[in-house]
Structure 1
Amino acid sequence: MTTLPKILVAPTGARRGKSAHPALPITIDEIVETCRACAAAGAGGVHAHIRADDGSHSLDLERYRTLVERLEQEFPGWFVQVTSEAAGRYDAADQRTLIRALKPKAVTAAIRELVPDAEAEPEARALYHWASDNGVAIQHICFDRKDMDRLIGFIEDGTIPGRSHQVQLVLGSYDGSKVSRPEDIEPFIQPMLALKETQAFDWMLCAFGREETDCLLRTLELGGKARIGFENSLWNRDGRVARDNAERVSELVSLAQASGIDI
């Protein structure tokens, strides 16, 4: 399984559009150009979303194939991860179909979306095992401790195979109802630490709003990886709106290096 980069840029997301920030990339050409700037700023890869012609979130197979091919051609060796996010438009069956058809090297899948209930567990188990057998690295998204507990349960009962797992922790919420706070990170990761003798976790965190930077710095201090970008936050540490995704990456890299963190 490919190791997650220390810093992964999430430049687009499924929700924000140009009205939120004119530098938020929507088209494939814009995403590629944004990736070029973010790679120069220090990002080790991209968490990529695609959009339909009207700008809405999409899981269109051909658009994803085109984007992945462009990124792999223009940035050889760079980490390219796609999303299977439902975002209220798709269901677990749509997500499974995309992952099997696209067969990406890396993809995110939220526990609560891919396995919404007990009835979905057999299909999810089949997908997790298929992915393991076919070199598809699934990064499991956990939005809260309940998601984390379910993830641990799926690992322990064999629904999710193997002893090495990629995890994406989401600290806070898109709508701001749950604030991102650095002090909430350690309790969030405790279930993974409890299994460190038998399981390996390559974990990453994203956060929201003006608290994003401090949360990501704390994540790096704790040995985690950082996902940064306009999907989650438009703001620099001082509260100013960032010029673009590359500025967010550059700020985090500079602050991490100033703190003695190896990027």
Structure 2
Amino acid sequence: MSTPTVITVAPTGAEAEKTAAPALPVTLDELLTCAKSCERAGASVIHVHIRDAMSRPTLDPARLKDTVSALRAETSLIVQLSTGGAVTDPYAARLRVLEAGPDACSLTCGTVNFGDDVFLNPWPFVSDLYQATQRCGVVPEFELFDLGHIATLHRLLDRHGPPYGGRIHCDLVMGVPGGFPGDLPTLAAAVAALPEHATWSATGTGRTTLPVMFAALAAGGHLRVGMEDTLTYTRGRPVRDNTELVRRAAQAATLAGRPPMAPPEARAFLGIPG
């Protein structure tokens, strides 16, 4: 319980529209400004989705490489690219994300109903993506939306061995319609089912943001926050920017006796080379 807290910021995502959330960082300059501010507020990892010139979600390889390079030049944050993209992105484009050379990537361990859509992650794709992370030297963060995904995680490890970097770190994504509900009993059941010695973060989407945050801190987990996951700071009050979400998480972690972990310490904790 004395371990400092890894705070991941997920600033953009693939669902929110810039017109509905003006503070959403969709250009590279906006993302860099956001990243530097969030690092000062306590973030050590940035989970990145990118947008094209029309602010639409994209997995364009050149834009991804430019984004990784710029974030490395301007911050000391761990750069974690999303391999989920938008729910409509093809598998081949999602695999090519690794070619941008990030420190880490998300790896969703199964298909899930995602509101009115379906986020497809069949076993052959999950297996191929995991083996690609091992070959490319990219540390995966296992994104888990329900208990069946944890069973798939065990299957991956049994079939293909440990991840690059040697550390098993997971993110429990809670509150998505179709996945885990964002409550304490569900979080406790998920943590109990994780592989031995795995570490984990929790993401509370929408109105589950605060309950999941406090439950994760109490249970020794880490945090992911950001405008990808919620656009409301409190009931009736929109999020001003990503920094205020990181700042609130850092304050909560400090009150819990687990202040934010600095990026160099988080690299060692997650098995990411310096």
TM-fit CA distance, 1:134? 3.5
Q: C-alpha offsets along residues 105-133 of structure 1, whole Å, 9 cap, x if unaligned? A: 21112122698335x26xx5454234224
TM-fit CA distance, 1:95? 1.4
Preserved CA contact (<8 Å) 1:46 1:79:
yes
Preserved CA contact (<8 Å) 1:48 1:83:
yes
Count the aligned residue pairs: 249
Which runs of 5 or more structure 1 residues have no equivalent in the other structure? none
Preserved CA contact (<8 Å) 2:142 2:171:
yes
Matched, 1:219 2:224: no
Quick one: structure 1 residues 161 and 31, their matched pair in 2 at CA, closer, same or farther if it must change by over 3 Å? Answer: closer
Q: What SS is found at the alignment partner of 2:30?
A: helix
Summarize the alignment of residues 78-157 of structure 1 with structure 2, pairs less than 5 Å apart. 78-99=77-98, 101-112=99-110, 116-118=121-123, 120=124, 124-157=126-159
Summarize the alignment of residues 159-170 of structure 1 with structure 2, pairs less than 5 Å apart. 161=163, 164-170=167-173
Preserved CA contact (<8 Å) 1:213 1:252:
no
Q: What SS is found at the alignment partner of 1:256?
A: helix
Preserved CA contact (<8 Å) 1:25 1:31:
yes
AA aligned opposite 2:207: R
Quick one: structure 1 residues 187 and 18, their matched pair in 2 at CA, closer, same or farther if it must change by over 3 Å? Answer: same
TM-fit CA distance, 1:190? 1.4
CA distance in 2: counterparts of 1:42 and 1:158, whole angstroms: 34
CA distance in 1: counterparts of 2:53 and 2:63, whole angstroms: 11
TM-fit CA distance, 1:102? 1.8
| Greater relative CO (CA pairs within 8 A, separation 6+) | 2
Match of 2:174 in 1: 171
CA distance in 1: counterparts of 2:179 and 2:158, whole angstroms: 32
Which runs of 5 or more structure 2 residues have no equivalent in the other structure? 112-118, 261-274
Using the size of structure 1 for normalisation, the TM-score is 0.84
CA distance in 2: counterparts of 1:177 and 1:137, whole angstroms: 24
CA distance in 2: counterparts of 1:32 and 1:161, whole angstroms: 29
Preserved CA contact (<8 Å) 2:68 2:101:
no
Match of 1:188 in 2: 190
Q: C-alpha offsets along residues 187-223 of structure 1, whole Å, 9 cap, x if unaligned? A: 111111xx42xxx313111111232023112212222
Quick one: structure 1 residues 117 and 236, their matched pair in 2 at CA, closer, same or farther if it must change by over 3 Å? Answer: closer
